[in-house]
């Protein structure tokens, strides 16, 4: 089966936090962050709720697709969590859009958008008439311990969306998961039952073995891109654009070197967005789409990795007219 992307959208919160801003409360420096990650600034939800950015990205994607919320048959929201545990973020978006379709969240961390595309493809194999909104949203600023310099400098908030329906864009897709709590974990808040011993409860903040995730990420990008290009019957060199998860410039550079691909094939937004988790890939896709850089027939690979640990990649043959 296959699908086409008929519209994209995105949203970033207004507040921009530069590396220099972080030095006001963290023992870090602009030079350390830039040289280790390629990040200069990120957007943080201060004035906006998570729903606000999710909704803006969704409305942009629907307008770009030329369809109304009432035309939607499904809303899938890849996210680590919205403003509430329940309702799901997908249901909150559905209410604001005044759509009437089934809506649910999925959890695949930074790989969520590609997991969402694969799920949409499965739904479309059952009903080719469906129109599905995938809205990938993460506000990592809510999951960060802002006293931990080793993680606080890496992330930003954002939302990226796409409307998909039956079509011919998808050439190949591949997902993986390797359960691993040690490499990257965000513990759930444990509640306040009087029987729980507070000192034994983990804090609900992201903790990560940066070096382990780094090695995993480089291998994941290389293995997944080789796999999806082979499955699509094309060479890596045939790709017009590769949109990698924007976690760290050095990870992308290492993967490009290992794959013997020029860096100009990789589209980068990490410098001014940081790692926006599930939103990172669709934010870049929407930017390229709105700049008119995607032409019908172009071959685009998406590749991501994240908590779980999960990975995913796909090859798309773009069909949408600018
Ligand atoms: N500012 C200044 N110094 C710092 C900072 C900081 N923000 N953070 C760490 N340091 C220090 C460390 O304490 C350490 O000091 P020491 O040598 O005195 O012990 C030193 O810098 C080197 O630390 P390393 O961890 O070795 O730094 P490294 O070069 O490996 O970079 C980084 C760390 C950026 C986290 C890297 O490992 C990385 O990018 N890993 C992958 C992370 C990632 O992609 N995560 C997200 C993927 S999953 C998802 O998206 C949810």
> Ligand 1, from 19, 28, 36, 178: best to mutate by most atoms within 8 Å of Cβ?
36
Catalytic residues: 110, 245, 275
Nearest CA to ligand 1 atom 47: 306
pLDDT tens across 36-55, in order? Answer: 999 999 999 999 999 999 99
Cα 154 to ligand 1 centroid, rounded to whole Å: 9
Q: Which residue has the higher pLDDT, 62 or 322?
A: 62
Position in ligand 1 atom list of the atom nearest CA 150: 8
Domain boundaries, the chain: 3-168, 172-317
Nearest CA to ligand 1 atom 11: 150
pLDDT tens across 92-146, in order? Answer: 999 999 999 999 999 999 999 999 999 999 999 999 999 999 999 999 999 999 9
Contacts of 181 by beta carbon, 8 Å cutoff, 6+ apart: none
Q: Provide the pLDDT for residue 201.
A: 74
Nearest CA to ligand 1 atom 8: 150
Name the fold adopted by 3-168: Peroxisomal Thiolase; Chain A, domain 1 (3.40.47)
Cα 146 to ligand 1 centroid, rounded to whole Å: 15
Q: Provide the pLDDT for residue 194.
A: 84
pLDDT tens across 148-200, in order? Answer: 999 999 999 999 999 999 999 999 999 999 999 999 999 988 888 888 877 67
Distance between CA 132 and CA 16 in Å, rounded?
31
Cα 73 to ligand 1 centroid, rounded to whole Å: 42
Percent of the chain with pLDDT over 90: 94
Residues in contact with ligand 1 by the CB-under-6-Å rule are: 28, 32-33, 36-37, 109-110, 149-150, 153-154, 184, 208, 210-211, 213-214, 217, 247-248, 251, 275, 277, 306-307
CA 141-155-142 angle, 5° bins: 15
DSSP letter for each residue of 40-97: -EEEE-SSS-HHHHHHHHHHHHHHHHT--GGG-SEEEEE-S--S-SSS-HHHHHHHHH
Cα 257 to ligand 1 centroid, rounded to whole Å: 21
For domain 172-317, the question of CATH label 3.30.300.30 is answered with: no
Position in ligand 1 atom list of the atom nearest CA 152: 7
Going by their DSSP bridges, the two strands 241-244 and 299-306 should be labelled as: parallel
Nearest CA to ligand 1 atom 26: 211
pLDDT tens across 261-306, in order? Answer: 999 999 999 999 999 999 999 999 999 999 999 999 999 999 999 9
Q: Is the pLDDT of residue 1 over 80?
A: no
Cα 274 to ligand 1 centroid, rounded to whole Å: 14
- Global pTM? 0.96
Nearest to 320 by CA among 292, 281, 284: 292
**Domain 3-168 matches domain 172-317 at the CATH topology level:** yes
Nearest CA to ligand 1 atom 5: 150
CA trace torsion 169, 114, 238, 285 (10° rounding): 80
Distance between CA 281 and CA 114 in Å, rounded?
9
DSSP 259: H
């Amino acid at each position: 089966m296959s699908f086409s992307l008929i519209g994209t959208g995105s949203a970033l919160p207004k507040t921009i936090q530069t590396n220099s801003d972080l030095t006001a409360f963290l023992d870090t420096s602009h030079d350390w962050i830039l040289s280790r990650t390629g990040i200069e600034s990120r957007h943080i939800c201060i004035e906006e709720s998570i729903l606000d950015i999710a909704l803006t990205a969704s409305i942009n994607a629907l307008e770009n697709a030329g369809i109304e919320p009432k035309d939607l048959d499904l809303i899938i929201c890849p996210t680590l969590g919205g403003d509430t545990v329940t309702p799901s973020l997908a249901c909150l978006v559905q209410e604001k859009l005044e759509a009437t379709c089934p809506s649910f969240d999925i959890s695949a961390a930074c790989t969520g958008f590609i997991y969402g595309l694969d799920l949409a493809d499965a739904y479309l194999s059952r009903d080719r008439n469906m129109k599905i909104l995938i809205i990938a949203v993460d506000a990592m600023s809510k999951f960060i311990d802002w006293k931990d310099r080793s993680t606080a400098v890496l992330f930003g908030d954002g939302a990226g969306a796409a409307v998909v329906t039956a079509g011919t864009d998808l050439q190949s897709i591949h997902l993986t998961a390797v359960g691993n709590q040690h490499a990257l974990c965000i513990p759930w808040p444990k509640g306040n039952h009087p029987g729980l011993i507070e000192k034994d409860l983990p804090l609900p903040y992201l903790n990560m073995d940066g070096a382990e995730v780094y090695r995993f990420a480089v291998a994941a990008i290389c293995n997944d891109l080789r796999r999806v290009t082979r499955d699509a019957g094309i060479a890596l060199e045939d790709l017009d654009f590769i949109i990698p998860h924007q976690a760290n410039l050095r990870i992308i550079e290492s993967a490009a070197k290992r794959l013997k691909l020029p860096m100009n094939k990789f589209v980068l937004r990490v410098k001014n967005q940081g790692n926006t988790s599930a939103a990172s890939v669709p934010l870049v896709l929407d930017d390229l789409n709105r700049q008119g850089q995607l032409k019908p027939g172009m071959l685009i690979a998406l590749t991501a990795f994240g908590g779980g640990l999960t990975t995913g990649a796909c090859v798309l043959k773009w069909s949408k007219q600018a």
